[in-house]
Structure 1
Amino acid sequence: MLDAAAKNWIIDVDESNFEEEVLVRSQDTVVLVDFWAEWCGPCKQLAPLLCAAAKEKQGGFVLVKVNIDENQQLASYFRIESIPTVLAFQGGRPVNGFQGLLGPEELEEFLGSLGVTGGEPKADPYADALALEETEPAKAEAFYQTMLGEDENNGRARVGLARMQAAAGKDAEALEMLAPLGDTGEHGADVVKIRRMIEMRANAATAGDETDLRKKIAAAPENPALRLELGNLLATRGDYQPAMDELLVAAELDRELGRGAVRELMVKIFEIIGVRSDLADEYRDKLRGLLY
C-alpha cells in the first residue's frame, strides 16, 4: 500500500480526469504517464521502478497510471501501439517518452533530462538492515518484517529475509518467501542467486564429507563424477574459484559430462558471482575452450 504522501505522487487516471490530472497539473510539475495493461509482463516489471522513483523524488514528478484496456480512447489519441509506454508531460503537452523497460540508472537519466529533482534524502531502512545481517541478524530480520508488514509486496524486504533464511539453512522458508518474485526485474539477480545457492546445497547434501570425497579422488583421480561432486561442494561453501577449477577437470575428463552437468553447475555459479563478472568471463572461456 502507498503511504499518505506517496498517494499524491502516484495516481490512477482515466478518461474523465486525464485533462485535470495530467494536462493541467503538468503546467506546474512534470507528469509521467505510464500506459499499461494487466496482461503486460514488462509493464509489471517497470511499474515498481517508476513507483520507487516517484517516492524517492518526493514530489519531483507525478506518476500517472493509465490502463489502456479501460481507456482505449486515450491510448488511441496518444497513438500507444506497444506497452509499456511512458510519456512525460510539461506545460500541458507531451515532451519526451520511452517504450519498454528501463533500468534504474537509465530511468534516473531520463528523469534528469526532464529537470526532475527530489526532496531531502530519507533514511533507507533497507540499507540499515543489510548492514546488520551478519552482525545483528535479529535486528535485520525485524527491519525486514516491519517493511513487509507495511507492504507485503516489498521485494527488497522479501529478498533480505530469504537471504537470511537461506544462510540459516531454512531453505524451504526462503523459497516460500521468494515465491511471489520472478527471476527478472528489479530483484531478479538477487532472487536467482539465492535460489541457485539452495539448489547447489541440495545437490551437495548427497556428496558426504569433503575429506572422504578428497580421499576418493586421490584413489581415483580420473573419475569425473567425483570432481563434479567436489566442485558442487566447494561452490556451496562459497569457494567458487576452486569449485570451477574442479569442474574444468571434470569436463576435461568427460566432455559429455562437461556439456551437461558441469556446464549447468558452472552457469549457476556465474549467476551467483555475476554473469558478466571478470571471473565468470574467464571460466566461461576456459570451459568453452575445453568443450568446443
Structure 2
Amino acid sequence: MSKPGFNVAGAIDLAALASQKQNQAKANAALANAPEGLVIDATTANFATDVIERSMTIPVVLDLWATWCGPCKQLSPILEKLAVDYGGRWILAKVDVDAEQQIAAAFQVQSIPSVFAVIKGQPVPLFQGAYPEAQIRQILDEVLRVAAEQDVTGSLAATQEVVEEIEEPVDPRIERAVTAIDAGEWANARIAYREILEQDPHDADALAGVALVGVLERTAHGVAPTAPSTVTEFLSAADFAVAEGDFPRAFDLGITAVQIASGDERNSARDRVVEYFTIAGEHPDVPKARTRLASALF
C-alpha cells in the first residue's frame, strides 16, 4: 500500500475469504435495530461534535479503515456487531483514511486497520490489524473500565430488539480450502479452489485463493532474504512481503526480479508478479505497478 503513510497491518488471513461476507451479514442484521447514532462516519466536519464532545459522556471507538484494505473489511463488521452487542455503552466512529487524511494524520496512523478509543477528548491507542472477536471484547471491556474510572459511563438510550442472526451461506468449497490451509494441506486447498474455478473461471475469491496458497506454501518455512541479489531471492522476498500484506514492497521486489531476469526465468517472474496483482485485488497501487511491469517487459 503505497498510499502515502499507510500499510495494511498483519499477515493476510485466508479465512477472511470465507468469513468476510458472513461477518458483514451478521453486522447488517444487528445494525438494522441499533439505536440511531451508535455507528457513525467521522469526518473533519463532525469530529469535534460527534467524537470529541460525545466522548465526554460516552466512550467513542474509532475504526480507521480504507476501501482497499482487506483486513479492514474483516474487522469493521466485527466492530459494528460488537457496538450493538454492548447495548450503546460505546459509540463506533468509522474514519475513511483516504477521505479524511487530516484525521489520520492527527492520530499519526501508519498502518490500517487501526483502532483507538477516545475518552474525555483524549485518544487511547487500542490495536492495529484484524483481531478476533473474543480478543476485541477483552480490549473493549478494558476501555469501559478505564472510562468508568473517569466517570464516562453514559450510553445511548434505546431499546434493542433481539435480532436473529442472518448468515449468508458460505461456499463449502471455500470452507474446505480454509480448513486445508489451516492444516498446511496446500494441494487439497488448491483442489477446493479449482473446483470453484471450473464452474466460474473468473471467481475473484478462488483466483486469489489459489495464488495465496502458493505464497503461503513458499513462505511456510525459512525467512525472507534481507539483501536479495538474484531473481530467486527477489521473488522469495516478494512472497514474504505479500504474506505480510505489504503489497508495494512485493511489487517493487517482483518487478526488480523481472528486470534482472531473462528468458524463461523472466517469464516466471512476470507470472509471479501477476499473481500478486490477483491477490491484491482493488489495491490502489495495482494500476501503477501494472504499468511498471509493462515497462520492465518492453
TM-score normalised by the chain length of structure 2: 0.43
Highest RCO, 1 vs 2 (Cα 8 Å, sep ≥ 6): 2
Q: TM-score, normalised by structure 1?
A: 0.44
Q: Which structure's residues are more often helix, by fraction?
A: 1
